[in-house]
Amino acid sequence: MKNDQIALYLNDHPEFFNQYPELLARIQSIAPEDLPLKPVKTLSITDRIVKRAQADKEHMKNQLVSFMEISQANEKIQENLFAIDRIIMYSLNFTQMIGQLREEIIKRFKIPGVQIILMDGDEHLMEGCLRERLDKNAIEGLQFVDADAASGWFDDNPKPVLRAEMTEGSEIFEGASELNIQSEALIPILLHGHLIGTIALGSENPHHFHKGLRTDLLERTADKLGIAIENMLLLDLMKNQPVLDSRTGLYNEIYLDPVLRREFGWAQCYGKTLSLIKMHIDSFEELVNTYGKSRIKKVLQEAGKVLAENSRGGDIMISSGEGDFLILLPDTSEQGAAQIAQRIRKTLVNHMFPELENDCVKIIFGIAATSGRGINTPTDLLTAASGALEQARDRKDRALAV
């Protein structure tokens, strides 16, 4: 407040002079016409409070209207994304899903440019498996690129990339000559923490996609797309190839690659330990020569039952060859895997195989875990378990190798 405003305010509020009655008397004795200050259009404190309250009320009203508009817009976005998520999660045909996904995004969000781009890489199945299963004709809206090209669009920690005012157009949408893409969004598709592709959205509005735009809902949609593709590949694998070994009743070696990559990815993504036991019936060839293939076939069936009965809910048992088995143990330390291996050994050795003499079954194991040194890929884990098995094979006492 200015000096004249303070003077007028004090004149209207004599209670401030309770401790200075003489000063108040002197001020009140001054005739109005002798006051050095002329009244100005100044509001009293009460008037100011009322005016401020009215202004705050109007501001809150405007904020409420804005909030309602944003809320309604978010509800519409949620409704649109829910419809898109349904397409992703309930589609069993990859070609059909891509077509419906593009159509819905274009229609619901008025975005003319939509591309699903998948990358090839050593640690996932995307490009190779899909190319084998798709029709020879190209699918509109689907691209395959090499890993280096896709990784170059993002940093080491893939986050959405938003580009506005692209006067020279888009490299990704350059094949769509009918579109004049001026802004674009690249939403990474992650699976188990690894980049496997991107959802590319292109707009002819130069300011449609810009830095600071919220992308969390689109990121969740991209995550669901990655999971859906993986599920389709596994379903397709099970439809087109038998995944159960007829001799043991366990999964066969065809199932190993996708399930090992999947479990390894989940372990990395959630900071858990995945252990792998590689088991070999060391006397297998000797047993075949002694008892014949037909009798040993029954032994394998019996061994498969024993392994299945001794597995936990999440364990994955795979028959990987003549007398060879792989056991994947999610969320299990190397020490825990060693205890499980010892229990399996004891059960198999003591089992009364009807076709064999007692004590003729000899078992060796190799164990590795994702927590081990130098294990950065699924292949590393399998190699480490194989190496540990060879070490056990070389030991005369057939001791457990860890």
Rounded CA-CA distance 173/177 in Å is 8
Provide the 8-state DSSP code for 401: B
Sheet architecture: strand order including 316-321: 251-252, 316-321, 324-329, 275-281, 363-369
**Which residues lie across from 195 on neighbouring strands?**
190
Q: What is the pLDDT along the chain (402 residues), one digit of tens a residue?
A: 555 566 666 666 666 666 666 766 776 676 666 655 555 555 555 566 666 767 777 777 666 665 565 555 556 666 777 777 777 777 767 777 888 888 888 888 888 889 888 876 544 445 455 555 555 456 788 888 887 777 788 877 788 888 888 888 788 887 777 788 899 999 998 887 778 889 999 998 888 888 878 888 888 888 888 888 777 777 766 666 667 787 788 888 878 887 888 888 888 877 889 999 998 877 666 666 666 666 667 777 778 888 888 788 788 889 887 778 999 999 899 999 999 998 888 887 776 565 555 556 678 889 999 988 889 888 899 999 999 998 888 774 444 443
Q: The domain 242-394 is classified under which CATH number: 3.30.565.10, 1.10.287.180, 3.30.70.270, 3.40.50.1580?
A: 3.30.70.270
Phi and psi for 93 in degrees, rounded to 5?
A: -115, 120
Strands 113-119 and 275-281 come out as: unpaired
Residue 37, helix vs strand vs coil = coil
Whole-structure pTM value? 0.54
How many C-beta atoms lie closer than 10 Å to residue 283's C-beta? 17
Q: How far apart are CA 341 and CA 363, in angstroms?
A: 10
| Residue 212: Cβ-neighbour burial (10 angstroms; 0-12, 13-18, 19+) | exposed
- Listing DSSP states for 100-154 in one string gives HHHHHHHHHH---EEEEEEE--TT--HHHHHHHHS-SSPPTTEEEE-HHHHHTTS
Domain ranges of the chain: 3-42, 94-237, 242-394
CB within 8 Å of 179: residues ≥ 6 apart: 112, 113, 173, 202, 204
CATH code for the structural domain at 94-237: 3.30.450.40
Residue with tokens 């986050």: 159
**β pairing state of 113-119 and 142-145:** parallel
